[in-house]
Homo-oligomer: A and B are copies of this chain.
Amino acid sequence: MTITGKNLIAGEWSGDASNGFSAINAIKNEAMSETFADATTQEIEHAIVRANEAFNSYQQLPAIKRAQFLRTIGEEILAIGDELISMACAETGLPEMRIQGERGRTIGQLGLFSQLLESGEYQGIFDEADADRQPLPKPDTRLGYLPLGVVGVFAASNFPLAFSTAGGDTASALAAGCPVVMKAHAAHPGTAELVARAISSAIKKCELNEGVFSLIQGKNYAISSQIVTHPLIKAVGFTGSERVGMILQKQINDRAEPIPFYGELGSVNPQFIMAGKFAEDSAGIAQALVASLMMGQGQFCTSPGVWAYIEDDNMANFERAASEAIAETKAGVMLTPAIAATYTRAVEHWQTLSGVKLLAQGQSGVEHFGRAALFATDLETFKRTPALHEEVFGSCALIVRLKNLTEMAEFIRLLKGNLTASIHATDNDINESKTIAALIAHKVGRLIYNQMPTGVEVCASMNHGGPFPASTDLRSTSVGSEAIKRFQRPICYQNMPNELLPELLKR
């Protein structure tokens, strides 16, 4: 397929890409040949208005039809074939195997919501009438869920498929009955166009109103602002940096009508290695942590960025094994040259911090590649050095050596919110693990025992979110079937005849 570089506005490909922006081939570090048109103010307005018009019919679509639509999107994504894989690889530098896996996950997510809709499980709560109750009769009340309206979704740089055009937020919003206005990520606009075509085909095949989905391309910040401040936008999903996320949050705060903002803004995913684990296999756990850190060149939201443990005789073995494993890692291409530059600057900055020691670095590579780094510090330094509390996006990890359990508890109190934490322990550590689990639970969305944080299971019991800045709204997940709740809200129907009740709430 030839990339048009245009915006998909309610079924029409619109805009002139001839003087537009280009993505960068991540591996070659040079501009790609395709150019893309920044969406105009009018195009964005039209996309949102058409989405709101489509809301009327789309929300009334039987759940089973919405399920079919989601499945069809998955089929159409698969039908794009190798072009999607090669485009995503070129735009992000992620390896082919990873992108193939991510495509599978994306289609799987769509399928999970299809199953949920088909199961009819999402029906609500019923309380029957009781005409004889004293002092007043009890009415029949039924709690159901309504879709919020048009949802604005922002694609993530690091998951060009699973957290982008037809990714988790899009799938859960469409499942909930909400049209989507999608802002593509400027780092992978070609991938976005291909996936948007798949969605557009699915809309046609399922004979839906074409306003249900629009794709907005652009490198211009005013575009994002126009989307999040529009009165017809009723919720926003975003995955990206804390800096950009907080700009959007402030614009959303200034709206006349408050709306939910689901921003995933960063996480250091602390790893706690307990004494028993050290004693059992300090080299093994060191190698496993480095392997997890190196996944996607450290560019996973759940990358293990901070490792904490209490100093003991096994510590030296652990740190030696970890340093050796880091030293063996090859430099790797990062998602964009800008991300690579930011990463390199952060690692250089950490090397200047007093009380912070560089234990090991990976092999070096060309300028736009990321080179792994392992640092170590103590609680006192961690406490007084705000830079160490921030996520460094890439394959950099910080060891925090602690003196005792009291210091570990104090360290936990200093942490910001995270998506995940892991406790690596044996049965011998059970009391200490219990103490740490109770404390760290309040700083994470997912608490893991003896497994690595990278790799998120897509299922009903998953929670991908957590206290700020892991999420701007810790009450919901962006992964798994519970994510449908992001874009719905409760409504109680009282004393309603069957004819006026939604299908799932009828007697």
A residues with a Cβ closer than 8 A to B are 60, 124-127, 136, 138-139, 141-143, 146, 148-149, 249-250, 253, 257-258, 260, 417, 423, 430, 433-434, 437-438, 441-442, 444-451, 455, 457, 459-463, 465, 467-468, 472-477, 482, 485, 489-497, 499-500
Are B146 and A459 neighbours in the complex by a CB distance under 8 Å? no
Q: Could you tell me the distance between the alpha carbons of A53 and B455 in the complex, rounded to whole angstroms?
A: 35
Shortest C-beta distance, A496 to chain B (Å), equals 5
Are A497 and B449 neighbours in the complex by a CB distance under 8 Å? yes
Are A141 and B459 neighbours in the complex by a CB distance under 8 Å? yes
Q: Could you tell me the distance between the alpha carbons of A363 and B22 in the complex, rounded to whole angstroms?
A: 74
Q: Tell me the nearest residue of chain B to A463, going by C-beta.
A: B492
Known contacts A459-B141, A492-B447: A475-B260 contact under CB 8 Å: yes
Contacts of A455 in B (CB 8 A): 136
**Known contacts A430-B499, A462-B492, then 8 further A-B pairs from the complex at CB < 8 Å, ordered by chain A residue:** A124-B461, A125-B461, A125-B482, A127-B457, A253-B253, A447-B492, A447-B496, A475-B489
Known contacts A60-B438, A146-B441, A477-B490: A126-B461 contact under CB 8 Å: yes
Q: Could you tell me the distance between the alpha carbons of A258 and B473 in the complex, rounded to whole angstroms?
A: 7
Shortest C-beta distance, A504 to chain B (Å), equals 13
Q: Could you tell me the distance between the alpha carbons of A494 and B449 in the complex, rounded to whole angstroms?
A: 6
Contacts of A253 in B (CB 8 A): 250, 253
Contacts of A257 in B (CB 8 A): 417, 467-468
Shortest C-beta distance, A443 to chain B (Å), equals 10
Shortest C-beta distance, A286 to chain B (Å), equals 20
Q: Tell me the nearest residue of chain B to A433, going by C-beta.
A: B500
23 contacts between A and B (CB under 8 A): A124-B461, A125-B460, A136-B455, A141-B462, A143-B482, A250-B253, A258-B468, A258-B473, A430-B499, A433-B500, A437-B500, A441-B491, A444-B491, A445-B490, A445-B492, A446-B491, A447-B493, A448-B494, A448-B496, A449-B500, A474-B489, A476-B490, A477-B490
Are B499 and A434 neighbours in the complex by a CB distance under 8 Å? yes
Shortest C-beta distance, A501 to chain B (Å), equals 9
Are B459 and A127 neighbours in the complex by a CB distance under 8 Å? yes
Q: Could you tell me the distance between the alpha carbons of A490 and B485 in the complex, rounded to whole angstroms?
A: 12
Q: Could you tell me the distance between the alpha carbons of A28 and B124 in the complex, rounded to whole angstroms?
A: 48
Q: Tell me the nearest residue of chain B to A60, going by C-beta.
A: B438
Contacts of A260 in B (CB 8 A): 473, 475
Shortest C-beta distance, A386 to chain B (Å), equals 12
Among the listed B143, B258, B463, which residue makes an inter-chain contact with A472, where contact means beta carbons less than 8 Å apart? Answer: B258
Are A449 and B496 neighbours in the complex by a CB distance under 8 Å? yes
Q: Could you tell me the distance between the alpha carbons of A500 and B424 in the complex, rounded to whole angstroms?
A: 13
Shortest C-beta distance, A280 to chain B (Å), equals 15
Q: Could you tell me the distance between the alpha carbons of A343 and B261 in the complex, rounded to whole angstroms?
A: 36
Q: Could you tell me the distance between the alpha carbons of A491 and B48 in the complex, rounded to whole angstroms?
A: 34
Are A460 and B127 neighbours in the complex by a CB distance under 8 Å? yes
Shortest C-beta distance, A366 to chain B (Å), equals 32
Contacts of A468 in B (CB 8 A): 257-258
Q: Could you tell me the distance between the alpha carbons of A455 and B495 in the complex, rounded to whole angstroms?
A: 13
